[in-house]
Amino acid sequence: MAEGHKLTMLGTGLIGMFYTMALHRHRGIDRVQVVYSRTEERARTFAEEWDIPRWTTDLKTAIEDEETDGVVIGLPNDLHLEAATLAAQAGKAVLCTKPLGRTADEAQQILNAVEKAGVFGGYLEDLVYPPKTLKALESVKNGALGRVLWVRSRETHPGPHSDWFWDIDKAGGGAIVDMGCHCIEIIRNFIGKGIRPVEAMCWSDTLVHPVEAEDHGIGLIKFENGSMGQFEVGWAFRGGMDLRDEVAGTEGTIWLNHWLRTGFDMFTAVGQGGYVAEKAEGDTGWLFPVGDEVAELGYSDMFVDMFNAWDEGREPMETLYDGYVVNAIIDACYRSAKTKQWEPIEMEWRGGEVDRETASTETDAPFVTLKTERMPDGRLKRIVKDKETGEISERIENAIKN
C-alpha cells in the first residue's frame, strides 16, 4: 500500500471541517499535519480537535511547511488564486475546493500555475462523488439510459454558513457561483465531459436578502450534441437543503434525491439535542437525519480518488481543468442574466468536436416509428413518419376482437 500523504489544510470553516473529517476518519493514511486559519483562536482549537500537530495564521508558512507534500484549499473564493499559486511554486500538490476561481480568468491562472509547476492538481467537487451519483454515472456509461438528452440539477437551502459568501467581492457572485458550480459539474458528468457546452441562458435575482449578490438563479446550458442542462439554485429555501438530480435519456430516466429523502425519516416532539444534518432548520417535527454526511456528500470517495490518482500518476475524476470549464459556464450565465439572451461560453476547449445527435432512420423500412403505446382497450398504437414524404400517421395493431 502507498505511503500516506502529509497535508496542509487551508481553512477551518465548514468545508475545512468536512475535509479533515473525511481524511482522518476514513482513508486513514493521509493526515493533516498543519492547519491555517485567519484567526489564532480558531487555528488552535481546530488543531486540538483534529489532533493536528501544527497550526498557524501565516498562509505562506502553512503552505511551505517542510513536512507536507500537498495543500488542500478550503478558503474563501477570493483567496484561491493566491493560495494555489503559492502551493504550486512550493512544489506541492494542489487540491482546491469549488469554485476554482471567482471567474474563468482566475481559474485559468490557477490551472496554468499548477501545470507550469508540474505538480498534481485536483478539483474538489464533492457532489459528483456521492455513492448514489457514482452508481448513476456508471449506469449511464453502460448505456442504461441510451443517449442523455436533458439533465436537471437543483441545490437550494436557507443560505450560506459564513459571512464571506454574502459578500459579492469576496465570493464573486451569489447563489450561482456558490451552488450552481455543483449543479453544472453534475450536469457535465452525466452528459459527458467530452461534449462541449456552447451557450447559456440564465435568470437571476435577489428576492429575499438585502445583499448585492443574487440569492436565486435558474440556468440553461446548451451542449454541442444538442443535449441540455438545467440548474436551479436558491438561498431562501425553507426546510433544509434540497439536493436533487434528474437525468432523461432516450432509453431511461434517473431521479436522485440526496438530502431530504435519505431513507431515514424521524418525527420527534422534543428534539434529539443537537445537530441533525447540514442546513437543517430545526430539531423537532419531521427530520431527515443522514447516517454519514461525509460519505453521502461525496467527500470520502472524492479523497480516495484524489489520492489514488496522485499515487498512480494519473488524472483524478475531477481535474483543475474541469473547474476552469465550470467557471467559464458560470461567467456566461452571469452575462446572460444581464443581457437576457443566450450567451456563448468562452473558454479554451481541450475536448474534441461532436456532431448534433438525432435518432437514426437508417433502416430499409419506409417508415420511422416516433412513438409506440399500449392503449387502455389493449390496442397497440404506433405513430410513424413516412421517410419519403414526411407525412405523420397512426397505425393500430393487435386490436381486441369483440
Residues 120 and 139 in one domain: no
The x, y and z cell numbers of residue 182, run together, are 455543483
| Largest Cα span, the chain | 87
pLDDT for position 353: 81
Residue 1 counted as domain residue: no
Q: Which of 73, 91, 125 is the last residue of a domain?
A: 125
Q: Which of 80, 107, 125 is the last residue of a domain?
A: 125
Domain range for 100 is 6-125
Residues 306 and 374 in one domain: no
Q: Whose CA is closest to 6, among 310, 314, 312?
A: 310
Write the Ramachandran bin of 151: left for phi over 0, alpha for psi from -120 to 50, otherwise beta: beta
**Helix (H), strand (E), coil (C) string for 285-331:** EEECCCCCHHHHCCHHHHHHHHHHHHHHCCCCCCCHHHHHHHHHHHH
Residues 117 and 137 in one domain: no
The x, y and z cell numbers of residue 275, run together, are 445537530
Q: Give the CATH number of the domain where residue 115 resides.
A: 3.40.50.720
Residue 355 counted as domain residue: no
pLDDT for position 359: 52
Residue 70 counted as domain residue: yes
Expressed in angstroms, the distance from the first to the final Cα of the chain is: 72
Residue 188 counted as domain residue: yes
Q: Give the CATH number of the domain where residue 213 resides.
A: 3.30.360.10
The answer to whether 337 touches 217, Cβ cutoff 8 Å, is: yes
Residue 357 counted as domain residue: no
pLDDT for position 222: 98
Query: Over the stretch 142-199, which tens digit does the pLDDT of each residue have?
Result: 999 999 999 999 999 999 989 999 999 999 999 999 999 999 999 999 999 999 999 9
Q: Whose CA is closest to 147, among 221, 229, 226?
A: 226
pLDDT for position 79: 98
pLDDT for position 362: 55
Average pLDDT per 10 consecutive residues for the chain, totaling 402 residues: 87 96 83 97 97 98 98 98 98 98 98 98 98 96 96 96 94 98 98 98 97 97 98 94 96 92 83 77 82 88 96 98 98 98 97 70 74 86 88 80 52
Q: Which of 100, 125, 150 is the last residue of a domain?
A: 125
Residues 188 and 275 in one domain: yes
The x, y and z cell numbers of residue 121, run together, are 492538481
pLDDT for position 291: 77
Find where cell 440539477 sits: 153
Residues 338 and 391 in one domain: no
Q: Whose CA is closest to 122, among 341, 319, 295, 330?
A: 319
pLDDT for position 26: 59
Residues 151 and 240 in one domain: yes
Domain count, the chain: 3
Say if residue 155 is exposed, middle or buried (CB neighbours under 10 Å; 0-12, 13-18, 19+): buried
From residue 39, alpha-carbon distances to 12, 45, 99, 169 in Å are 9, 10, 23, 21
The x, y and z cell numbers of residue 304, run together, are 480516495
Residues 158 and 253 in one domain: yes
Write the Ramachandran bin of 378: left for phi over 0, alpha for psi from -120 to 50, otherwise beta: left
Say if residue 283 is exposed, middle or buried (CB neighbours under 10 Å; 0-12, 13-18, 19+): middle
Looking at residue 163, what DSSP letter applies? G
Residues 211 and 66 in one domain: no
Residues 297 and 157 in one domain: yes
Q: Whose CA is closest to 124, among 292, 318, 296, 304?
A: 318
